[in-house]
Each structure stands twice: as structure tokens, then as C-alpha cells.
A and B are shown apart, each in its own frame.
Chain A
């Protein structure tokens, strides 16, 4: 029965992808859903992009090990989202409206008047996010293997076939609407499991008493406050301008919709945050000797829940995985077809041909990670964390400060990106000296390179600033209206 629920879910997302292909008429539809998404679908797709195997498996495992207080991390993440929604999103939406921007390299290339930065951004995205697809595929195949004994090779192929299919056909329309379904499945699947696992553990009070008898810190301060703050702050920094999330702002109707969508995504995230905490701590009481904490979710699904709800929980895990990889895949496909082929090389195609080219690139980009997932590297869970560190170290400073500081230049941005990601990679390779998270070294380097590089080079033109700064827009409008007039 559990497998029937899972198959039903997979068929539903395939169906949505097949249906949504009809709404795609041009590149803007394919990469940004025409910029027409409403608040509910927008909120769901934002939340779904945030959720991954890391949430459905990894976070549950963290709660298994650390108890409830790991949930504070969500508030650091949300703080980052508020900055994105209120500071970055309006400027991104303005760029979408004025220049038809569709990607993060579009944003950087326009703001810094540089094709070089566009290419650097694409290379970093391809490398760092490519790794995350591998990690997600491995995570999903692991779940199918533990739950149903599906060989891991077959598991990788099944998961990949489904998300590649709907992404290639329907682009962001398909992703956004499958994300809505996936968020409902995820939130409902985990939330409905909570009363069952808590009552199996003897009720809320008994659960806490049993947790305290295992380790008193599980009901107090499981993760020490200094560590919690350090981890939370690194999430906060890394997620500012995080490309797969920020890119969603282009696809929503207007600024009002974006702000509402972010609020709706917080509601989805809160339901999931509370649910994964309860599933994790209950698993600790019910199965205190799991081989690895990552087995908490699949074990609860198969051993504790009734078959239909167990299938729903497993579908929720796959939903989290597929929603993230489809978002990553579309972003990588657009980086190659839109940024490199169209913008940098300058090949102009008809609307239809551009969509088909993007579809072909998305297909290829979806297939490339599969062989790597079939021969997984050790410590695959660590890949996501390292990829996030590399991406944040490259993009956080240049996207946020580029949108609020007019003096920022292409040289400053390039030094910042290369310096940030280079420092983060070196710090990771050195094994995090002094136990310090790479972010605490890479972001200062990125900031220093950004400000110094910008201040010693010529500012970008007013035309480049105009899409992002209202006063520059107004100046240009005035100058255009009054010939010969130029403001200082």
C-alpha cells in the first residue's frame, strides 16, 4: 500500500509536467512562468525550493541527535528571507520588467556591466549546484532502498527520470505547480505523522520524560547556544541572495505578491519545522539505537505509521528532493542556454527554438549527474553543506551589496566572488582549521575584495544602475526629457 501511494504521487507530478507544457510559449514562460505566479503557488515554490533531502532526512536526524532546540535555525533562515523579500526582490522584479532578466547571471551581468562576471557566475553555479543534484539523487535512492529494497541504481534512475521529465516539458510552470503539490504532500505527510508518533511514544509529556532519561539536554539545550548561533548565522549569511531561491522572485506577479508569497512560505516552513522536530525526537525514543540518525524518517514511515500514511511520508521525502533538484536543474539549464549561448555568445533564436534549446540543455544537464550518483562519493550528506558554503561565499556579497551600493564595480564583484569561493574552498580543503566554519573567513574576504576592488576602479554607468536605483532612473528620464540637461 505504501508503494501505491508513492507511485500515485510520482504519476501526479508527471501529469502536472505534461499538462503544464501547454502554457510554455517562450523563454520567459519556460524560465520564469511568464512572471505571473500568484502568492499561494509562489509561496509553495519558495518553500519547496528551501526544502530538500537535508530537511526531510538530515534535519530529522539532527533532531534525533540534539532534541528540539535545533529548530532555532529556521529563524536565522527566515531573517535572511526577509532581507531578500524586502531589499532584493523589488529590484529584481524591476529588472525583470525593464530588461526581461531571467537568471542570476543576468542580474550580475546587467548590474556590473560585465560579461566576465556573467561567465564566472555560470561556472560557479554549474560546479556547486551540479554537486547538489548528485547528493539529492543519492539521498532519494537511499530512502527507496531502505523502504522498499529498490536497488540504489534503479532508485537513482526512477527519481531522475521523473524530475527530468516534468522539468524538461513544463519548465518553471511545471516546477511551480508540482512544488505546490509537493509542499502539500510534504507538510501534510509530516504533520499527520506527528500525533501518531507522539502517541506511540506515550504522549507529549511521556515523550519528553523518556527523552530526558536518554539525555537531559534533548529537552533543554541540545545544541549549545554558541554553536547554535554560529551555525544559524552561517545559514543567515549563505542564504542571502541564494540563487535558486532569489531566482523565484522573477516569476511572481509583482512586489505585493512576492511579499505575500514569502509569508505563505513561512507558514509552510513552520508546519514542516515543527513536524520534523517531533518526528526526530520521537524516533530517538522509539528507536534509540538506529545505525545512523538519517534513518529516522524512513524507519518511522515503514515501522510506525499505517501503510498509507507511511507511503505519504516517503512521498514527502521524495517531494522535498525532487522540488529542489528540479529547481537546480532549470537554473543550470538556463545558465547555459540563456546566459552563455544567448547573452555571451550572442546566438539569437526564435522564441520557439530558444525554448527547445533550453529544453535540450536541461535534459543534458539532468543526465550528466546520474553516473556520479551511481558511484557516490563518501560523505555524500556533506556535499550539500559544502556546496551551500561555496555558493554563499561567491554570491551573498555581490548580490546584496550590488543592489544597495551604487559604487560597486565589476572588478570589485569579481574579486569578491573569486576571493570568497576560493577562500571557502581552501578552508574546506584544510579541514576547517580551528573548528571555524568557512563562512566566517570567506565572507570577510569577499567583503574586503568587494569594497577595495570597487573603490579603486571606475564606477559603472548610470544606465547600468538605472534598473536598480529609482533616483538614477529619474535622472535618466529627466535628462532624456530635457535635451542638453545633465544632472551632476
Chain B
């Protein structure tokens, strides 16, 4: 119980919502951004390789 109370006390809030819950949306956005950055790099490499092989 004491541990639980301690855990709850440590939870920081913003606009009535725990920071850990805000982090869900932040991580989602970052996940999608990183996914697009990485895969677009792969795509341009692949497209360049295709162009080279066609040329």
C-alpha cells in the first residue's frame, strides 16, 4: 500500500492527466515519424538501385 501511495504521489500531472498518459500520444507521433523517415530512406535507396539497373 505504501509503495502504491508513493507511486501515485510521484505521478506528475498536466491538465489533469498523468504525464505517462500524455506520453502515449507523444510516442505514437514519434513512432510514425521515425517509421516514415526510415522507410522513405529505404524507398529512395531501392528506387535509385532500380534506376541504376535499368540504366
Contact = CB atoms under 8 A, between A and B. Distances in A.
Interface residues of A, number: 34
A40 interface: no
A212 B11 CA distance: 13
A72 interface: yes
A40 to B, nearest CB: 14
B16 A219 contact: yes
B28 A69 contact: no
B27 A267 contact: no
A220 B21 contact: yes
Contacts of A212: 16
A221 interface: yes
Interface string A256-272: 10011011001100100
A114 interface: no
Interface in B13-31: 13, 15-18, 20-21, 24-25, 27-29, 31
Main secondary structure of the interface of A (DSSP, over half): helix
Given A204-B15, A220-B11, A266-B31, A259 B20 contact: no
B20 A69 contact: yes
A208 B42 CA distance: 42
Nearest to A209: B16
A75 B30 CA distance: 11
A152 B20 CA distance: 41
A71 interface: yes
A72 B39 contact: no
A74 B24 CA distance: 9
A256 B32 contact: no
A263 B8 CA distance: 36
B28 A75 contact: yes
A274 interface: yes
Contacts of A259: 39, 42-43
Contacts of B32: 263, 266-267, 270
B28 A270 contact: yes
A221 B35 CA distance: 27
Contacts of B36: 263
A266 B35 contact: yes
Interface of A: 67-69, 71-72, 74-75, 78, 82, 85-86, 204-209, 211-212, 216, 219-221, 255-256, 259-260, 262-263, 266-267, 270, 273-274
19 contacts: A68-B17, A71-B28, A82-B35, A204-B15, A205-B16, A208-B16, A211-B16, A212-B16, A219-B18, A219-B21, A220-B21, A221-B11, A259-B43, A260-B39, A263-B32, A266-B35, A270-B32, A274-B25, A274-B28
In the A-B complex, the 9 residue pairs with the smallest Cβ-Cβ separation, listed nearest first, are A208-B16, A259-B39, A220-B18, A68-B21, A256-B43, A71-B24, A205-B16, A266-B32, A208-B17
